[in-house]
Structure 1
């Protein structure tokens, strides 16, 4: 299945290049922004500024978590744009003093983005602004990442991850980093 996906990605890139050539380079930015949109820009910028998180990281995570669907629900029950787990939503609602919090509020874009960006800020403080470790923590949980950093099998220096034992997290991290770089190139 992975070979098929890589083949599809290469084919998609080839098609994009053909489209860009056909419509002209001046329209290339439009094509790229169509493939890599930024939805909920005002909310992302608001909370990214408040919590001092790169907005392009927020967008890359959101794209990979929900494809910008505010009603998305994962197999594990995470909800909304940034796929907030119930336990994280409860914890964040207490820390952020969200009045009358209920789990259904995770489907509200503003609440979901606020909690997701706040959690990235928590991860940033915990892992020393190491974006690769932050992304792994967003997917696998900060408790798992702490264990990995303390294990010489996964981290030689206790600060960076040399190996990620969860395949899902390893692939997630790779995709988010790829999209993060692409968003920076397109929109910066």
Structure 2
């Protein structure tokens, strides 16, 4: 009899904890938005889903402005300096110095401009865009032409690079998570 009460008590405690954790406040704490104004501004200017920008930043840098990858990608959206130089030239951005990728506003604008470029290139196909953001559009286009990968979400496991495969899965997860948590709050 005592063990039955104890089990019921434990179940009650676990249900209470689950209900407490499954609240919007807790979800927003687990998935914060930093640089919201900058993200919304860039989102509107370049017509890119703000949840995609958030997902890329969360996946790439965890919102750390000074992050530099082993390969040399810099800042919030982890942009390679060569890619950034090309974007600055194409988009006509004005940079103050060679440290511009560490500036969160500039980094978000450059990264979002690039996402818009990829969205246009891949006709709005989010999965291909995310893969190209990680591996480069040349690689992704090569995989598609050689039929190594169909480009479809259902076939992410066919992406030839493990890093890109995991990256696409992670960004899609964060995209879906942020979208469900913040719904219309990020406009």
Category of TM-score, reference length = shorter chain? 0.7 to 0.9
Q: How high is the TM-score relative to the length of structure 2?
A: 0.83
* Structure 2 equivalent of residue 178 of structure 1: 173
* Structure 1 equivalent of residue 4 of structure 2: none
* Structure 2 equivalent of residue 28 of structure 1: 23
Q: Aligned partners of 2:159, 2:73: CA distance in 1, in Å?
A: 22
Deviation at 1:27, TM superposition (A): 7.5
* Structure 2 equivalent of residue 111 of structure 1: 106
Q: Aligned partners of 2:65, 2:90: CA distance in 1, in Å?
A: 22
Deviation at 1:26, TM superposition (A): 9.3
Extract structure 1 runs of 4+ deviating beyond 3 A: 20-27, 100-103, 159-162
Q: How high is the TM-score relative to the length of structure 1?
A: 0.83
RMSD: 2.1
Match of 2:137 among 142, 150, 166: 142
Q: Over alpha carbons, which structure has the higher Rg?
A: 2
1:94 equivalent to 2:89? Answer yes
Q: Aligned partners of 2:21, 2:135: CA distance in 1, in Å?
A: 41
1:80 equivalent to 2:75? Answer yes
Does the 8 A contact of 2:148 with 2:159 survive in 1? no
Deviation at 1:88, TM superposition (A): 1.0
Structure 1: where are the runs of 5+ without partners?
A: 1-17
Match of 1:53 among 5, 23, 48: 48
Between the two proteins, the alignment pairs up a number of residues equal to 168
Change (3 A) 1:114 1:24: same
